[in-house]
A and B are shown apart, each in its own frame.
Chain A
């Protein structure tokens, strides 16, 4: 393992599908960690946006999921893995405005079809992998050695 890949910090969060009561908790904790260890504030803001959207996707659509925060000297990596319905058409899901949210979720102000595009917009690197009927995984990466967005 080279030095730049060395993990400085790793944290794991469990997310329960349908649990609107605790929705946002993992993201709030992540933000607090980033502030505590002195990550640049613009990166913290972008990470908060991405982690909140990713967390809410699990709450809204999946049975359960896990979010892992990994920090190396060069990168901040959010890895999300869920057990849920998966995404049938990823190109469509990435389109702004496309959503499969229920009326109830929309009334709450979710399901505007902004989630995944927002994650991609804020990340330096974004990868989505999904098996319909099984689940979805997301890799969201932020470069720590530059404060400007890509």
Chain B
């Protein structure tokens, strides 16, 4: 499923990466531990997290993730937004909690 479709269905707010919405999403990975995400996420995954600091961008970039969904209506740091723009990493935000977003994404991708 394409990123664009997921954004519409999950009603995500697009913060950066507007031009990368045609990317195919391979799955999701929900975690707030960066070492865990580095070790276990897969290329094309959407990363669901509440971390908002700038170091999440390098992790997404290194693992070729489809993007990052920041949950609980948290606002990313200014440096994070800046880095996401520089590295062209799609960043989204959601009002929902990680549990809900993960469940919905799972439904969408597995159906």
On A, residues with C-beta under 8 Å from B are 20-21, 23-25, 27-28, 31, 45, 48-49, 52-53, 56, 108-110, 112, 114-115, 118, 121
Contacts and interface: CB of A to CB of B under 8 A. Distances in A.
B32 A52 contact: no
Contacts of A27: 58, 62
Contacts of A56: 34
A24 B43 CA distance: 18
B74 interface: no
B32 A109 contact: yes
Contacts of A115: 35
A24 B55 contact: yes
B51 A109 contact: yes
A37 to B, nearest CB: 17
Contacts of B51: 108-109
Contact of B39 (A24, A28, A49, A109): A49
Contact of B54 (A21, A45, A49, A114): A21
